[in-house]
C-alpha cells in the first residue's frame, strides 16, 4: 500500500480500506477490480475495431502496465484472499498482459487490396496476383495460392497506383488446400498503404477516470 494512501477507498460511498493505487486513485480490492476490468474491457473493445477509425486511449499502455503490476502485487500479498477474488485478479493480470502486447503492435486494418508479387518469385510469364487480408503501417498479410519461404525477400506492387515496396516474408500459414496466408514485413519506411495514421487527439483514460 502506498504511504500516503487515504484511510478509505476513494470510490464514492465506499468505506473499505484501500488496497491498491491505480493511476493516482486509492481503491479497495473490489473497486480496483471493478474499475480495472471495465477499462481493460474498453481497451479490448477498441482493439477489435479493425477499421481506420480505431482509436486507442493514448495512455492505454501506462494503464495496462499499472493494472498488471497492481494485480500481481495483490495476488502475491493476499494469501487469505477468497479464491474467487484471487482468480479474478489472475484473469485480470493475464488479460492485461495479453492486451499490452497487442496494443504495442501496430494496428492492422482489414482491407482487401489487389497486389502483384514480384522479385525473387519464379519468373512468371504473367503477373502473380495476390490480395491482402489485412494491412498495417509496416506490412501486410496477403493471401496466395502457393506458400512462400520465410525470410524470402519479394516485392509487392499495388494494382491501383503501381507503387511497389520490398518486403520480407515473416511467416506463412496454410488456410485451405490451395490458399496460404503470408505475413510480410516491409523493408522500407514509406507509408505504402497511405494510412497516414494520426496519433494525436486520442482520448485519455486518465482523464476519464474521474467517476
Ligand atoms: Zn471501494
In DSSP notation, the chain reads --TT--SS-SSTT--SPP-EEETTEEE-HHHHHHHHHHHHHHHHHHHH--STT----TTHHHHHHHHHHHHHHHHHH-TT--HHHHHHHHHHHHHHHHHHHHHHSPPEEE---EEEEESSS---SS-EEEEEEEEETTEEEEEESS---TT-EEEEEETTT--EEEEEEEEEEEEETTEEEEEEEESS-S-TT------SS---HHHHT--
Per-residue pLDDT of the chain (211 residues; tens, 9 = 90+): 444 444 789 889 998 888 887 777 888 888 999 999 999 999 998 888 766 666 777 788 899 999 999 988 888 876 667 888 888 999 999 999 999 988 887 778 889 999 999 865 555 566 789 999 999 888 999 999 989 999 999 999 999 999 999 999 999 999 999 999 999 999 988 889 988 765 433 444 444 443 3
Quick one: pLDDT at residue 172? 94
Quick one: pLDDT at residue 76? 81
Quick one: pLDDT at residue 167? 95
Quick one: pLDDT at residue 189? 80
Residue among 144, 126, 153 nearest 182 (CA): 144
Quick one: pLDDT at residue 202? 44
Quick one: pLDDT at residue 125? 62
CA of 15 to the centre of ligand 1 (A): 7
CA of 66 to the centre of ligand 1 (A): 18
Let me know the angle formed at the C-alpha of 155 by 196 and 126, rounded to the nearest 5 degrees: 125
CA of 17 to the centre of ligand 1 (A): 7
Quick one: pLDDT at residue 199? 44
CA of 46 to the centre of ligand 1 (A): 27
Quick one: pLDDT at residue 119? 65
CA of 187 to the centre of ligand 1 (A): 51
CA of 114 to the centre of ligand 1 (A): 54
CA of 71 to the centre of ligand 1 (A): 15
Distances (CA, A) of 32 to 48, 55, 80, 101, 136: 24, 25, 18, 22, 34
Quick one: pLDDT at residue 113? 94
Quick one: pLDDT at residue 207? 44
CA of 32 to the centre of ligand 1 (A): 7
Amino acid at each position: 500500500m502506498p504511504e500516503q494512501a487515504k484511510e478509505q477507498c476513494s470510490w464514492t460511498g465506499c468505506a473499505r480500506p484501500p488496497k491498491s493505487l491505480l493511476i493516482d486513485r486509492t481503491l479497495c480490492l473490489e473497486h480496483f477490480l471493478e474499475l480495472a476490468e471495465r477499462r481493460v474491457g474498453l481497451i479490448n473493445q477498441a482493439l477489435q475495431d479493425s477499421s481506420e477509425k480505431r482509436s486507442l486511449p493514448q495512455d492505454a499502455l501506462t494503464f495496462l502496465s499499472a493494472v498488471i503490476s497492481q494485480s500481481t502485487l495483490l495476488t502475491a500479498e493476499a494469501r487469505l484472499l477468497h479464491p474467487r477474488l484471487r482468480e479474478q485478479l489472475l484473469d485480470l493480470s493475464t488479460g492485461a498482459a495479453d492486451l499490452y502486447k497487442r496494443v504495442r503492435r501496430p494496428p492492422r486494418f482489414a482491407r482487401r487490396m489487389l497486389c502483384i508479387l514480384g522479385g525473387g518469385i519464379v519468373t512468371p510469364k504473367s503477373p502473380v496476383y495476390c490480395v491482402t487480408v489485412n494491412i498495417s503501417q509496416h506490412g501486410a498479410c496477403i493471401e496466395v495460392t502457393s506458400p512462400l519461404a520465410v525470410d524470402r525477400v519479394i516485392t509487392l506492387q499495388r494494382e491501383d497506383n503501381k507503387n511497389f515496396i520490398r518486403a520480407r516474408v515473416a511467416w506463412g500459414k496454410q488456410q485451405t488446400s490451395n490458399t496460404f496466408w503470408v505475413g510480410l514485413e516491409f523493408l522500407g519506411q514509406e507509408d505504402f498503404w497511405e494510412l497516414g495514421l494520426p496519433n494525436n487527439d486520442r482520448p485519455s483514460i486518465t482523464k476519464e477516470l474521474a467517476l
